């Protein structure tokens, strides 16, 4: 029987990078390599499985409790991010890390505390890094290893009482398609957790509200030699428009619960220009105000120029699941109690982005996010704490036990 360390090392050496140019599900055929391996591992444990044609592996561990308990789900994703290669991952294991600089293989790169201050969080722990040439893929293979370890432990210890537990291993999370094909019929949980975060002290149940704004500008091109009083330069309109937006609400100037508008792309000439913004805020009312700012700037310029020079197209992309938890805090209460019993510090951290859990939550399945002990994901400096992965397994075992003891 493999332990969690062996499992993780095995999973992270399988290339499962997503492909955002593909329209298939999963987006890359190589994601099947890990899905099929997991299917084989779970088959050996004789647990009921369903591997869907679009690349989601579902498993169900039936209740062995005499009382009716909440049905709990756990979700992790098999794919890895696009920012760095996931091919030929060669992990390095460092036992009892003492804060020293870590050379990443022979790549010439190094993990140093001055650049990667979170290394401080893992002193005294066993950690796994890359060799500097690829990402590690702890995002989210650490989550997968934690869940498989949890299942294995529960099956090997039938004396541990638990309710119905559901597991899903999704594909294409990194390209925003993780739950596009999610089938709730195979996952009838009362609430769930994505195991897809960073430091295990951090628990996330709030994410951004998100919108995009496409702003088009129409100028009037005239030969510059005879342009006085008549030329309107669309590129300059785009700059003027930006100057009317709140200048302190930028990603480079904000953190925690502060939202931002962010000019992600622009193109322009004299006749036409186009700016693409994203808008983010945790608070629904401020989010609405920030979108309104775009419409106010649009109106202001169209009035000023006495013609339609600006046109704003706003579109919501996703919403903060945080407010949904005010009706049902079961998932959070259970986490709080399991952390307390394991003497694990707990910090609720708002996510400055979206999660698959948020999309599940708006389909009725409240899904906070728990950490895996992974840090600096999506690049060659990614590392994971094996010690924290092991601790998270203990916390989840405690959580399922607590759930079946309640009521
Ligand atoms: Zn992830």
* Model confidence band, residue 407 (pLDDT cutoffs 50, 70, 90): low
Q: State how far the Cα of 279 lies from the Cα of 360, in Å rounded to an integer.
A: 22
How is 117-161 classified by DSSP, letter by letter? Answer: GGGGGGTTS-EEE--SSS---HHHHHHHHHHHHHHHHHHH-TTS-
Query: Rounded CA gap, 309 and 320, in Å?
Result: 33
Percentage with pLDDT > 90 across the chain: 98
**pLDDT for the residue 76:** 98
The string of DSSP letters for 165-217 reads: EEEEEES-GGGT-TTTT--GGG---SEEEEEEESSTTEEE----EEEEEEEEE
CA of 374 to the centre of ligand 1 (A): 10
CA of 105 to the centre of ligand 1 (A): 24
Mean of pLDDT values over 29-42: 98
Tell me the domain boundaries of the chain: 4-206+321-405, 209-318
Round to whole Å and give the CA distance between 304 and 298.
Answer: 10
CATH class of 209-318: alpha beta
pLDDT score of 126 more than 90: yes
Q: How many CB atoms lie within 10 A of CB 110?
A: 14
Pairing of strands 347-348, 202-204: parallel
Sign of CA dihedral 150, 153, 155, 157: negative
Phi and psi, residue 303, nearest 5°:
-70, -45
Distance 241 CA to ligand 1 centre (A): 36
Q: Is 356 exposed, middle or buried (0-12, 13-18, 19+ CB in 10 A)?
A: buried
Ligand 1 mean position, distance from CA 155 (Å)? 26
What is the rounded end-to-end Cα distance, in angstroms, of the chain? 35
* pLDDT of 338: 98
Question: What DSSP string describes 279-340?
Answer: EEESSHHHHHHHHHHHHHHHHHHHHHTTS--EEEEEEEEE--SGGGGGT--HHHHHHHHHHH
CA 40 to chain centre: 27
Vertex 402: Cα angle to 358 and 331 (nearest 5):
15
Confidence of residue 1 (pLDDT cuts 50, 70, 90): confident
CB distance 375 to 201 below 8 Å: no
Residues with catalytic function: 79, 173
CB within 8 Å of 14: residues ≥ 6 apart:
30, 33, 34, 37
Q: Decide if pLDDT at 245 tops 80.
A: yes
- The pLDDT tens digits of the residues spanning 309-324 come to 999 999 999 999 999 9
The CA 292 to ligand 1 mean position distance, Å, reads 32
Write out the H or E segment, with its range, that includes residue 238: helix 234-243
pLDDT exceeds cutoff 60 at 177: yes
Expressed in angstroms and rounded, the spacing between residue 133 Cα and the centre of ligand 1 is 20
Confidence of residue 186 (pLDDT cuts 50, 70, 90): very high
Residue 272, strand partner residues: 218
Q: How far is the CA of 194 from the centre of ligand 1 (A)?
A: 9
Q: Tell me, what's the pLDDT at 403?
A: 92
pLDDT digits (tens, 9 = 90+) for 37-54: 999 999 999 999 999 999
Residue 131 has pLDDT above 70, yes or no: yes
Average pLDDT value for residue range 349-362:
94
Give residue 76 CA to ligand 1 midpoint distance, Å.
8
Q: What is the pLDDT of residue 406?
A: 64
Q: Is the pLDDT of residue 272 over 80?
A: yes
Q: Which CATH architecture has domain 4-206+321-405?
A: 3-Layer(aba) Sandwich (3.40)
What does pLDDT average to over the chain? Answer: 97
Distance 313 CA to ligand 1 centre (A): 30
Residues around the ion ligand 1 (C-beta < 5 A) = 139-140, 196
183/58 Cα distance (integer angstroms)? 9
Q: How far apart are CA 159 and CA 55, in angstroms?
A: 33
Percent of the chain with pLDDT over 70: 100
CA geometry: angle 363, 167, 75, nearest 5 deg: 60
pLDDT at 2 over 90: no
Cα 90 to middle of ligand 1, angstroms: 20
Cα 401 to middle of ligand 1, angstroms: 26
Residues constituting the chain: 407
């Amino acid at each position: 029987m493999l332990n969690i360390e062996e499992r993780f090392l095995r999973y992270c050496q399988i290339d499962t990078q997503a492909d955002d140019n593909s329209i298939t599900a999963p987006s890359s055929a190589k994601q099947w390599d890990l899905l099929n391996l997991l299917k084989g591992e779970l088959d050996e444990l004789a647990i009921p499985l369903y591997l869907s044609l679009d690349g989601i592996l579902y498993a169900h561990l039936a209740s062995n409790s005499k009382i009716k308990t909440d049905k709990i789900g756990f979700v992790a994703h098999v794919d890895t991010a696009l920012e760095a290669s996931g091919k030929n991952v060669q992990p390095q294991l460092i036992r009892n890390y003492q804060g020293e600089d870590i050379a990443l293989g022979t790549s010439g790169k190094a993990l140093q505390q001055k650049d990667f201050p979170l290394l401080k969080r893992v002193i005294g722990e066993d950690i796994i890094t890359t060799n500097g040439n690829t990402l590690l893929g702890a995002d989210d293979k650490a989550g997968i290893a934690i869940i498989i370890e949890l299942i294995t432990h529960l099956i090997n210890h039938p004396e541990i009482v638990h309710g119905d537990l559901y597991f899903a291993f999704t594909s294409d999370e990194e390209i925003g398609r993780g739950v596009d094909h999610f089938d709730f019929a195979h996952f009838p949980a009362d609430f769930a957790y994505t195991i897809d975060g960073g430091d295990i002290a951090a628990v996330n149940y709030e994410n951004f509200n998100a919108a995009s704004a496409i702003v088009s500008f129409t100028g009037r091109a005239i030969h510059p030699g005879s342009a006085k009083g008549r030329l309107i330069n669309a590129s300059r309109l785009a700059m003027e428009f930006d100057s009317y937006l709140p200048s302190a609400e930028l990603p480079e100037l904000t953190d925690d619960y502060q939202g931002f508008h962010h000019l992600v792309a622009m193109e322009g000439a004299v006749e036409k220009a186009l700016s693409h913004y994203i808008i983010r805020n945790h608070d629904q009312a401020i989010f609405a105000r920030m979108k309104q700012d775009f419409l106010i700037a649009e109106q202001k310029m169209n009035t000023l120029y006495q013609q339609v020079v600006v046109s704003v197209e706003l579109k919501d992309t996703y919403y903060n699941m945080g407010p949904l938890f005010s009706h049902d805090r079961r998932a959070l209460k259970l986490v709080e109690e399991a952390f307390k019993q394991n003497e694990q510090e707990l910090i609720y951290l708002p996510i400055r982005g979206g999660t698959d859990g948020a999309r599940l939550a708006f389909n009725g399945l409240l899904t906070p996010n728990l950490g895996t002990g992974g840090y600096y994901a999506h690049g060659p400096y990614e590392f994971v704490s094996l010690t924290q992965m092991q601790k998270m397994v203990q916390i989840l075992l405690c959580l399922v036990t607590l759930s079946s003891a309640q009521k």
